[in-house]
Structure 1
Amino acid sequence: MPLIKLQKLIIGSVLIGFLSAFLGIALKKLTEHYEEIFSNQASLHPIFIFVFPIFGLSVIYFLRHYLFNKKENKGINEVFESTGSRTKNLPKSKIASHFINGLLTVIFGGSTGIEVSTVVATATIGSVAQRKQNFFKEYKTELICAGVAAGITALFNSPTAGLFFVYEVISKKITRTFFITNIIAVLVAFGLVYLVDEKPLFDVTITTWHLRAIPYFILLGILAGINSVYLTRCVLFFKNNLSQIKSHYYRIIIGSVILSSSLFFFPQLYGEGYHAIKMIFTNPNEVKISTNLLYTFIGIILLKPIATSATLFSGGDGGVFAPSLFIGAFLGLFVALLLNTYLKADIIPVNFMVLGMAAVLSASIHAPFTAIFLICGLTNDYTLFIPILFVCLISKYTAKMIYPHSVYSYAASVAK
């Protein structure tokens, strides 16, 4: 590659990395701030549990219909369509539409997260950049991946997770240009994260783990794989079997009823659910099992995929990242409490929460190394690296044996 082209590519990667990281941090900060305000109001005045979802989804539909040229947000499928075609590009409007609609979905109770909104918005930054220089067009996929990698880095404080995500889910291959552009983008993104002093999402103290817990790790990995398939099938069931409902109004009403009913019985399902994870991370090793707690855990684990699917079906913006982490945390604590209570296993609940988050995410997106480094970045702790690797591989291959597709790979096959 001529030096002048390399210089332009480096400058482009720096700009993509900065803009994508800035967008990711801004969306995360705004979502955290307003989700806390709205969820608190919903807990104080339960009527808002029924008002917020239908209002938020209606506003999103209005914006999509009148401001964003009636272009539906199809999630990561849009990225696959763009990288799989020489001519199809992500329009500039996708930056604003995914940013705004992702924010509105979560703060008004939509049971999903901002990760996929960030992925598509930052992919669009890369897509726009590659259209600015003729020779950039041959590096379209690499520049789109650079935007996504920087966005993931900003969201989860982990440049390694950003790199593995674009490799495992989007690119599937590494070229010299991919390496240069994506390394530069994530380093710039991580530098911005450092400058704004972003703290790990979860404040967790992990001390050690024991070899005698390996059989229980295997059990957790298998259960996580099964749960991830349940999440995937729920999302695809709503997407495929309810697609005959063409009226957006009916979709909003049906989705809102399902979502509001779920939130009424289990407020922990509101939004991303990170607030609920932080709550159970407070002192999980002291939690004692009870009948009410068992019902709560089972209800949350079973209803979260349905609430997420209803949110996406009715026009909400989001994906399975946050739901996977949410389900994994509650599943891990649930399994640990059962094993300690009934089998006297003497395992560490906080460890199983962390392992559960990684395992369900790994199986849901079929990207174990993304899950490993993402969870280590979220907790800023690598003590459990070996057990996380173990459960992530088990959960992924358990899920693939039961059902070969993730939501992402299914979308990719449809895009082709």
Structure 2
Amino acid sequence: MPHYKKTKIPLLWLRRHTSDREFMLISSVLVGLTAGMAAVILKTLVHYIHVLLAYGNRLLDQPYWLVVFPIIGILLTVFVVRVAFNGSIGRGTAGVLFSISQKSSMVERHKMYSHVVTSAFTAGFGGSAGLESPIVVTGSAIGSNYGRDYHLNYRDRTLLLAAGAAAGIAAVFNAPIAGVLFAIEVLLTDISISAFIPLIISAVVGALCSKLILQEEILFNIGQREFFAASHLPFYVLLGVLCGMMSVYYTRMALRVEELFEEYQSKVYSRAIVGGILLGLLIMLFPPLFGEGYDSIRLLEGNNAQEMLQNSWLAFFGTNEWLVLCFVGALALVKVFAATITIASGGNGGNFAPSMFVGASTGFFFSRLVNLLSFNNLPVSSFAMVGMAGILSGVMHAPLTAVFLIAEITGGYTLMIPLMIVAATSYAMVKYFEPYSLDTKKLAQKGQLLTHNKDRTILRIMKIQHLIETEFQPVSPEATLGELVEVIAHSRRNLFPVVTADRKLDGIILLENVREIMFKTEKYDLVKVRELMVKPPAIVQYDDSMADVMKKFDESGAWNLPVLRNETYQGFVSKSSIFTKYRKLLIKTTNVA
């Protein structure tokens, strides 16, 4: 018997001998443990690849290796994806949301390990992207496939999918609260209180995995250095506005760079080489762009930004305060391009860590600029930390996750007030200009995002071709009244399309309009259908959106409308069938009860 089947036997016994709630609690522990261990493995792989490159052989002391390594990492990623995973492994959080809304929360099995392998190559060799998105996909795949193997329904499977994601985020940062909030804000937008328990259990188990196994140098933890002063409140508000503007810049620039690389979608290796070279050149100019960037965040938080210039060409000019300030400001702007090039050229990673990098740089730049201009003496460390929450909130559209993540990794809640102010201000600004986050915008444009604005999106997903009814009996415009009566006698409908020999729609016959004349047998051979038909109140085109169709129903007051495709009659669509399909989709896509 295969090993995986042997391991399923005890759980199958539990499935039969426990209640649904008890089994879900046990499942949340197992999913959290597995996702947490996957996160531990990924962080460890990336750490030791980077240690080997940066310290073991001292290769990074030579600037040209900064160009070579990212190319190697991206090419390795592309090669593995093409050879082992048929050329595609999906895109981060957007792929998970697509699986929830379009695939009944079924995530491909290979995603339980494919993102670990590929993102380790990308980030380990210097790709300027984060590991959080691959970990979210990995944890989601673990939860989804666990639910599939034990035949759980859609709601429970979706809950375990989110629990796996929560465990992954919790393990990366040793931040269980942030893991739970991420699952709720990003993956599950409609959730009941009862669903919190499995999410909390998985997140705690995932955090324990990293806490017990990972070394302190691998975990991203920062000690709280300074406290919040009420006199700094106006500056935190200004920082929130700046973070909102930077978040809009981040989102729009990232999408534009992605569009440029999409033109070379079929030339995967050429795209990888070009992207790797561009990334390498950026890293040569700005060495802190190498890898995830958490070491640089620590320097910014510790007010030691001058150390970031040590391997830079700018070190020739010394460590002047204004030079350091301009360098950090440039990093905040350029990191967007580095991260997007890494991902768009074929590497695997996400925008979570880059958002935090941009946030720390923005907070440092703002507070240091104020201090240099002698307006105030702002705590640079606190502003760098709070800036991370501002950009993370704006780019990911997850303000609660941002607030509690920074609170947890700093080991205290003394900055809770400025964190909330900056995250809320940034989110409010971004929401006005960009209704959807960077990860969800393309899905929303295609109408494939059911976890946000569900009512509107369900209508966008419904397609006319799936709702056409063809059992309406057509009649020829040259048919007689007698022939029409014969058709009516064998039909259960009260509406009949008048269709020509080349399937053009001439009109419709309503039973209520011919009820009187159909009993006058003397006119059966004298009256033609052409004389009895009327013009349909509206015409639905085959490629009309459901919003347009519903507008036509509202304006015409009809319950059935004919559908044409290139002027050819296809059938009818009814308002009742649309409502029925809508209700089924709404029930199906309600995540957790």
Settle same-fold status: TM greater than 0.5.
yes
Equivalent residue for 1:156, pick from 173, 184, 209: 173
Paired letter, 2:184: Y
The Cα offsets for residues 315-356 of structure 1, whole Å up to 9 and x where unpaired, read as: 111111100111111111111111011143111111101111
Match of 1:10 in 2: 25
Matched, 1:230 2:249: yes
Structure 1: gaps spanning 5 or more residues: none
Cα distance change, pair 143–65 in 1 and its aligned pair in 2 (3 A): same
SS of corresponding position for 1:222: helix
Match of 2:149 in 1: 132
SS of corresponding position for 1:20: helix
Match of 2:361 in 1: 330
SS of corresponding position for 2:300: helix
Q: Could you tell which deviates more after superposition, 224-233 or 192-201? A: 192-201
Match of 2:397 in 1: 366
Match of 2:509 in 1: none
Q: Could you tell which deviates more after superposition, 102-111 or 83-92? A: 83-92
Deviation at 1:411, TM superposition (A): 4.2
Distance 1:209 1:80 in 2: 37
Distance 2:306 2:417 in 1: 25
Match of 2:554 in 1: none
Paired letter, 2:414: T
Deviation at 1:99, TM superposition (A): 0.2
Paired letter, 1:123: S
Query: Quick check: 1:17–1:184 contact (8 Å CA) kept in 2?
Result: yes
Match of 2:291 in 1: 271
Deviation at 1:86, TM superposition (A): 4.7
Deviation at 1:130, TM superposition (A): 0.8
Q: Could you tell which deviates more after superposition, 89-98 or 123-132? A: 89-98
Question: Percent sequence identity over matched residues?
Answer: 32
Match of 1:215 in 2: 234
Query: Quick check: 1:131–1:137 contact (8 Å CA) kept in 2?
Result: no
Give the structure with the larger strand fraction: 2
Query: Quick check: 1:202–1:379 contact (8 Å CA) kept in 2?
Result: yes
Distance 1:86 1:249 in 2: 30
The Cα offsets for residues 253-286 of structure 1, whole Å up to 9 and x where unpaired, read as: 2211220111001000001011111223334599
Cα distance change, pair 126–257 in 1 and its aligned pair in 2 (3 A): same
Paired letter, 2:228: W
Match of 1:145 in 2: 162
Structure showing greater Rg: 2
Equivalent residue for 1:59, pick from 58, 71, 76: 76
Match of 1:89 in 2: 106
Distance 1:338 1:394 in 2: 21
Deviation at 1:62, TM superposition (A): 0.9
Cα distance change, pair 381–289 in 1 and its aligned pair in 2 (3 A): farther
SS of corresponding position for 2:149: coil
Distance 1:187 1:290 in 2: 43
Paired letter, 1:252: A
Match of 2:268 in 1: 248
Deviation at 1:289, TM superposition (A): 5.9
Alignment of 1:348-363 (within 5 A): 348-363=379-394
Distance 1:353 1:140 in 2: 39
SS of corresponding position for 1:139: helix
Cα distance change, pair 327–232 in 1 and its aligned pair in 2 (3 A): same
Q: TM-score, normalised by structure 1?
A: 0.94
Paired letter, 2:300: I
Query: Quick check: 1:284–1:333 contact (8 Å CA) kept in 2?
Result: no
The Cα offsets for residues 182-240 of structure 1, whole Å up to 9 and x where unpaired, read as: 12212222333443376462333423221111111011111111111111112211223
Match of 1:27 in 2: 42
Equivalent residue for 1:306, pick from 323, 333, 337: 337
Matched, 1:383 2:402: no
Distance 1:73 1:202 in 2: 30
Structure 2: gaps spanning 5 or more residues: 1-16, 308-318, 450-593
Deviation at 1:360, TM superposition (A): 0.8
Distance 1:71 1:400 in 2: 31
Aligned Cα RMSD in Å? 2.2
Alignment of 1:167-182 (within 5 A): 167-182=184-199
Distance 2:208 2:443 in 1: 32
Match of 1:409 in 2: 440
Cα distance change, pair 308–104 in 1 and its aligned pair in 2 (3 A): same
The Cα offsets for residues 14-72 of structure 1, whole Å up to 9 and x where unpaired, read as: 11010011111221222223224324545312121111111111111110111112223
**Greater RCO (Cα-Cα under 8 Å, separation 6 or more):** 1
Deviation at 1:134, TM superposition (A): 2.1
Distance 1:305 1:164 in 2: 25
Q: TM-score, normalised by structure 2?
A: 0.67
Give the structure with the larger helix fraction: 1
Distance 2:98 2:361 in 1: 34
The Cα offsets for residues 129-187 of structure 1, whole Å up to 9 and x where unpaired, read as: 11112234441211100000011111111111011101111110223552232122122
Paired letter, 2:150: Q
Cα distance change, pair 336–244 in 1 and its aligned pair in 2 (3 A): same
Paired letter, 1:317: N
Query: Quick check: 1:328–1:358 contact (8 Å CA) kept in 2?
Result: yes
Paired letter, 2:127: G
